[in-house]
């Protein structure tokens, strides 16, 4: 954290002990290895510090979305295998192989590009085959993947380490589609037995799969948001005890009396019915805090829930303390986390903003400094 940013009163606090608790809880629940998903800046928690901590906790596989995330991990000294889950372009393949990064191969054409790059470099590429079982995003359709699997298994320059698909509806514990996807995936994987090729590591379960569908755990699971202590859906079953790892805290920078009828913030969308006390908090949508919280969200201050009033600005927003409420400049304001007996969760913020927890977490940008607490290596 730079000296300049460390002076900012708004900060994200990441509890590494909570992260470690969640990792161990998932491991105990599934009984198979965990690929820790750290894409999107580790869901807003900070890619490099989180990856270093998880590597120290014995995580043997990371998953990221894009090449740049994988290269950042390598440059930061992360040595365990890293799989790039997203689609790749031919021009990216050489760099992936040179940095010992694992590649998602999602078509026969991409397989040929990886083979050609590996041959030019004189070193084998480690690949995971992506099978599309119903997401219709990337991957070879499960019903036509036979030739693709045969070509990959016969490749001279590619080592097929894994085969995987992605569950579209596993956040819903009653999803019929999830079991249909599992069946399609198992049928696809049977091609390895049919041609006498070794079965790669099969991985299918995301956070929803981990929570709701033990049939999908197979050889490895890929928890993302639940690793950070947030449920993938408000209706998800709490079959694993999770602890939120992220808190978002700011401070009061201004206190004023607003007269009855005087509107607050852009657009004059809110005005008090009587004289009231209003504070200003120095964080806004320019930091990734949702503008949709205007006149809807709440914060904790002095152990009480107080409403956001007026439109949330790029860098600041206002909170109504009521005619008798009080606060001082530099008092802590909790936007996500606990204060006294009360707490506000990522799920709360997502509900107020009419979005999902994933978006809330991943929108927090680098303008907010991160602070890390806890983090003792494996107890």
Check: CB of residue 266 under 8 Å from CB of residue 311. yes
39 catalytic residue (yes or no): yes
d(CA 58, CA 27): 11
Neighbours of 365 (CB within 10 A): 12
Alpha carbon 343 to its chain centroid, in Å, reads 21
Q: Categorise residue 340: left if φ over 0, alpha if ψ from -120 to 50, beta otherwise.
A: left
Q: Which of 40, 124, 2, 123 is nearest to 358 (CA)?
A: 40
44, 266, 285, 291 from 363: Cα distances, Å: 7, 22, 9, 12
The catalytic residue among 254, 266, 285, 328 is 266
The strand pair at 102-105 and 125-132 is best described as: parallel
266 catalytic residue (yes or no): yes
152-177 burial, b for 16+ CB within 10 Å, e for fewer? Answer: bbebebbebbbbbbbbbbbbbbebee
Q: Which residue bears the tokens 């990856």?
A: 51
| DSSP assignment string, 88-105 | --GGGHHHHHHTT-EEEE
The catalytic residue among 39, 110, 113, 130 is 39
Catalytic residues: 39, 266
């Amino acid at each position: 954290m730079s000296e300049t940013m460390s002076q900012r009163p708004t900060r994200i606090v990441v509890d590494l002990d909570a992260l470690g608790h969640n990792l161990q809880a998932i491991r105990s629940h599934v009984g198979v290895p965990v690929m820790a998903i750290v894409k999107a800046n580790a869901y807003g928690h900070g890619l490099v510090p989180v990856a270093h901590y998880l590597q120290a906790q014995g995580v043997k596989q990371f998953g990221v979305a894009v090449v740049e995330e994988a290269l950042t991990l390598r440059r930061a000294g992360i040595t365990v295998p890293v799989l790039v889950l997203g689609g790749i372009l031919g021009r990216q393949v050489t760099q992936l192989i040179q940095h010992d990064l694992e590649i998602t191969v999602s078509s026969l054409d991409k397989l040929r590009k990886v083979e050609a790059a590996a041959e030019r470099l004189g070193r084998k590429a480690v690949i995971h085959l992506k099978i599309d079982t119903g997401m219709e995003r990337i991957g070879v359709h499960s019903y036509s993947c036979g030739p693709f699997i045969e070509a990959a298994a016969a490749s001279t320059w590619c080592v097929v380490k894994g085969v995987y698909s992605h569950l579209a509806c596993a956040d819903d514990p009653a999803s019929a589609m999830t079991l249909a996807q599992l069946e399609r995936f198992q049928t696809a994987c049977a091609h390895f037995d049919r041609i006498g090729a070794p079965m790669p590591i099969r991985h299918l379960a995301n956070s929803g799969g981990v929570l709701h569908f033990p049939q999908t755990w197979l050889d490895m699971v890929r928890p993302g948001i639940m690793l950070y202590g947030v449920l993938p859906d408000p209706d998800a079953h709490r079959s694993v005890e999770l602890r939120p790892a992220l808190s978002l805290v700011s401070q009061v920078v201004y206190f004023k009396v607003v007269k009855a009828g005087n509107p607050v913030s852009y657009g004059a969308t809110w005005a008090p019915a009587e004289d009231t006390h209003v504070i200003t908090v120095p964080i806004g949508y320019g930091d990734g805090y949702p503008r949709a919280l205007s006149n809807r969200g709440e914060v904790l201050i002095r152990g009480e829930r107080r409403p956001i009033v007026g439109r949330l600005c790029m860098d600041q927003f206002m909170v109504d303390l009521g005619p008798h409420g009080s606060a001082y400049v530099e008092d802590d304001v909790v936007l996500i986390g606990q204060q006294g007996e009360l707490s506000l969760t990522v799920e709360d913020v997502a509900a107020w903003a009419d979005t999902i927890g994933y978006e809330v977490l991943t929108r927090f940008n680098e303008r907010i400094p991160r602070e890390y607490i806890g983090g003792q290596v494996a107890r």
